[in-house]
Structure 1
């Protein structure tokens, strides 16, 4: 009986949630007239503080979504670290000393750092932004780790915690201060929109890179002597 209830109750709760969401979507679709979103966005671009529509949507008009996305990334990073098998994420036994990779690092790492900086700078006016720049920075960190370059900030401690949560903390702080200044939550004060968006994107770049890199280095390493998934 207990096993039946353990299966039935979550199933009924899930069905009720699906029905509730369906009813909400049906009421919204029936009560609102169709909206031309590209035209609406074009008419609001002057208020966005940036010149690229994607950045305007992600960090202004739909900044709630982006804030929650960053929260999910931070939670994923913390979870990955907590499940890591090694005592330290900077385990020297997992590095390699490949001379070819080391030679490539001398060319690729400076170029990747420049590319990350460009993507961050370009995000306000053209394709780019914090997510793209953070991914490139994380790739740079992966290359450094594989090549044997020590990444001291990955050791469990204050620096790692600050790096993981700084982007979300700054984003949330701006939202709260905006509300305290008389604006709505995540509604930037007039004249401060672009500086605040640039500040948020800058700190998000480093936090996103830290989260992605932490997830990479905390992933379990397969034993070379163990049979792979394709082995029978």
Structure 2
């Protein structure tokens, strides 16, 4: 009975949310012409990437901080965990995971590179890297993570620190994230490369840091 009540409540909430979204008025300000007019100076050729890493870089910087805080919240729980014992998963599944994970890394690199001129970028690439780690864990090829080592901590925070460092360096130009047009593309690629690596670790960590129960498996 409780399960039916929860399902009904979730369905009602979803329908109400959909109805609310459908009734939203049209935007009074259309920013697409402004984005297109300044796209040449953004350093990239895709408007979404230009908005996320240039025009609204503050939002993206804070989004990374929120993900880090979510991971820190998990680690701050201080749960005692032991190393997970890897069980003997079915060999066909492990074989498929071994074949798929390198391809997923290649896809992540492509998404990072393609983000400058078509849909893609650090968030999508990082999600694919994290999915590769989760796949390896589910097929018993990668153990769950304990408390992060010093290297892992630098990897988790490195993308955010790199982004923050580039943003701070731009203060010499009078604004926190005002890239020089001649170097905007290279700086955005540098930021996205760092974010891809860190986001992959953060998203994977949100799963792998919670997979070992006390006493191990």
Same fold by TM (over 0.5)?
Answer: yes
TM-score, normalized by length of structure 1? 0.74
Q: Which runs of 5+ in 1 are unaligned?
A: 1-33, 224-232
Cα RMSD between the aligned structures?
2.3
Residue 87, structure 1, aligned to residue 81, structure 2: yes
* 1:117-163 deviation per Cα after TM superposition (whole angstroms, max 9, x unaligned): 11011000001000000000000001112223346986521012111
Q: Which has the higher contact order (CA 8 A, sep 6+)?
A: 2
Aligned counterpart, 1:17: none
Instruction: Give the match's secondary structure for 1:108.
Output: helix
Aligned counterpart, 2:53: 59
Q: Is the radius of gyration larger for structure 1 or structure 2?
A: 1
Give distance in 2, aligned partners of 1:116 and 1:182.
Answer: 33
Aligned counterpart, 1:214: 205
CA contact (8 A) 1:95 1:145 kept: no
Q: Which moved more, 1:97-106 or 1:49-58?
A: 97-106
CA contact (8 A) 1:85 1:220 kept: no
TM superposition shift of 1:222 = 8.0
CA contact (8 A) 1:81 1:215 kept: no
Give distance in 2, aligned partners of 1:221 and 1:150.
Answer: 12
| Closer, same or farther: CA 150–35 of 1 in aligned 2, 3 Å | closer
1:48 to 42, 64, 81: 42
TM-score, normalized by length of structure 2? 0.78
Residue 193, structure 1, aligned to residue 184, structure 2: yes
Q: Which runs of 5+ in 2 are unaligned?
A: 1-27
* 1:68-109 deviation per Cα after TM superposition (whole angstroms, max 9, x unaligned): 000001111121223363435xx3326553322211112211
